[in-house]
Structure 1
């Protein structure tokens, strides 16, 4: 005989029960799959709750702004007044939801949402919680856009069927982009690249502008605009040290520039709603995200940080 004796597997507490019904003892693979399934369910629950909260916020803003416009009359109900009221309600309801979230019992996995938006650090576990919505957001956006686009001719009338895709773009896309570009890319560049802070800010701003290439390719001025937005969001993150601050700024930027105006005087006149869905755009964005993640992994391995918590 050769080598060492085979070590028997440790006894499983439920072996006697499983034996009585003829089932085999569960393997490590079974336990791993159960943990993966449980984690996926928690992430799905967080996404559903987040979508519900955002839809409620946007819906309240529409109802109150429309009611106020009817009360003050068309002469006083200017576009600027309606927009200001809309944003004010957004701030108020969002603040109320945040306070309720902080004081409420953990009906959902708070660790998932806190890892994304309310922690001062970025961990690999937080990234794993975020990777599912990162992968799912193009699919979710396409499905919601298909369900929302009942009327292709967008005019000055606000359309309630655009609420789902509006919520997806305004909040969810902003949160995911901030996690990738500020929470992951900028933070790792600042900590592990040995480059000056200004170089790190400029680098992540350039990647952010390239990520929005389908809009920035129209002119160098558009590209420069996205670059400046990325720089501003990076400075907000640097000043606050929390991810939810640039998420809020990014969300309000999307509300104003994309959904409300889109460069015109009409509500929901943004570029997305006036053109057919560009499936190739999703592929390009996946390529940018994959490149960023590969660069981060390479930087992490070079610094000997693989498997360690990035805090």
Structure 2
């Protein structure tokens, strides 16, 4: 076993040498990912160390593929791994799902704290010095964590005993305020933190079983299905208005291309334009008729509703949660 500096985290790792790539595993916050780095690209890939904690945070939050091949932007022949994903660095980090602005960071921290209470008004304990806490919130250090904790107090979204602590003890008591509860509701309605998923699919009666299979997968993973033909639309709105408003309220989109409805192309494209994740599905018998520009996208190709439900649950757990 050889040792090298991990391109993603800057830490020393044991790696295995192969003909066309090197491989190693990373275990961060009890989440393990397998990394394969193209040998030809190894010296071309350069990640600024300011992104090391971001990548660790993505792994800690299950937002990094469990198995991936890392290549450079100039790589001509990336080899797609079985059951894996090809990641082009450093451009991948521009679209990765993590808080990129101070507003994003403070909202991410607040929602993290909000999910820790088991009932409204509970006083719970958080240790801001623990690596798991820092990684889950994409903080570089305790000082940055304390800065954002203080920001939540200034906004009166939480109360804490932070001021009474003697450094280096950073285990503090937190309580979500009434204003905080209202803020949590607001965030859940905005889309990014919501428990809603927009389903883009044909209204063809033949898709009834597919619809129920998708709905079951969402229910089993804790999400509510939003299907536009099941919504009550106000008299002053057009169906297009409702589609756009619903997409904005949802966390992600499932686009089923069976029967190739033009609306599915529009809705999935709009979701991508909003920065939302899209899971693509299509029945095996229909996939051959798909338009050329969506065929290269990674689809769940299914032969039965039961398979679709199972594969969707796995995809949501790995890609969304």
CA radius of gyration, larger in: 1
| Shared fold per TM-score greater than 0.5 | no
Structure number having the greater helix percentage: 1
Structure number having the greater strand percentage: 2
